[in-house]
Amino acid sequence: MPSSAPIGIFDSGIGGLTVAKAVKELLPKEQIIYFGDTLHLPYGEKSANSIRRYAIEISTFLKSKNCKSILIACNSASSVANDVTWNNLANDIILLNVIDPLTRYVQTSFNNELVGVIGTKATINSKVYQNKLEKHCIVRSLSTPLLAPMIEEGFINNKISSTVIEEYLNNPILKGVKALLLGCTHYPMIHNEIDRIYKGAVTVLDSNTWIALELQKQLTATDKLSLAQENPDEFYVSDKTDSFERSTRFFFGQSVELKEVKLS
């Protein structure tokens, strides 16, 4: 596979564009092929079996685009569909999820500390963060299902978002946490707002920097770093709407042309 082959990135919708942005910032010579499964959004409310089925269909699509690496840019899918996606790919494709790079950092940096995790119901119910961290930290998990739809609707940095976020952060489960992990790729959009509420008392961490660094590390180790981008980035959705196209600008910081593709 040539080093100029693209990086496939997928999410249920636009949340994963925050990951795509972090990848483009760190690795501007890489070509990205993004897939937002808007037809099945939100994943956070779906059963594990359905999310696994979607992940197999999407990774098959990205494989057909000759991606050298695939990033599961969705915590809900990373929680329950990492193994099936792995099994669906050839060994020479680098598969990364948004949970492992972040939890590896937290395991060493917050050893024996009280750590909070917020995410969708699918992510929190899977206990994936709990399982990866509990030997190292004391983990407190809270599902925050209103946040992703609120962000999708553009409610950030306003009265509604601060009321909803504060209500969740004031939940006694999160009392005393030293770090808060944003276990959903939509939440980087409210990272600053959460920082403002905590006033520096809690370290707020999202996975974007960590997954981009991990990708850089693995591409370097396998000699697959692109030297120059040969083809433009491509953005696909399973259900194209005008509002979604508008939102992509808000998430990605630039306009993108969305193509609709039906996978099943």
Contact between 106 and 133 (Cβ < 8 Å)? yes
The b/e string for 69-82 (b: 16+ C-beta within 10 A; e otherwise) is bbbbbbbbbbbbbb
Given 9, 41, 74, 174, the catalytic residue: 74
Nearer to ligand DGL, 10 or 226 (CB): 10
Hey, which residues does 142 pair with through a beta bridge? 118
Closest CB 76 distance from ligand DGL, rounded Å: 4
Given 184, 190, 205, 212, the catalytic residue: 184
What residue type is 222 in one-letter code? T
Closest CB 224 distance from ligand DGL, rounded Å: 26
Give yes or no: 137 in active site.
no
Give yes or no: 74 in active site.
yes
Nearer to ligand DGL, 16 or 224 (CB): 16
Nearer to ligand DGL, 3 or 125 (CB): 125
Query: How many separate helices (H) and strands (E) can be counted in the chain?
Result: 11, 10
Contact between 32 and 6 (Cβ < 8 Å)? yes
Nearer to ligand DGL, 30 or 37 (CB): 37
* Interface ranges with ligand DGL (CB under 6 A): 11-13, 15, 41-44, 74-76, 120, 123, 148, 184-186
What residue type is 94 in one-letter code? I
107 membership: H or E segment, kind and range: helix 100-109
Closest CB 79 distance from ligand DGL, rounded Å: 8
221 membership: H or E segment, kind and range: helix 208-221
Q: Which residues contact 189 (CB under 8 A, 6 or more apart)?
A: 18, 151, 156, 251
Nearer to ligand DGL, 5 or 215 (CB): 215
The b/e string for 138-170 (b: 16+ C-beta within 10 A; e otherwise) is ebbbbbbbebbebbbeebbeeeebbebbeebbe
Closest CB 187 distance from ligand DGL, rounded Å: 8
Closest CB 160 distance from ligand DGL, rounded Å: 18
**Positions marked catalytic:** 74, 184
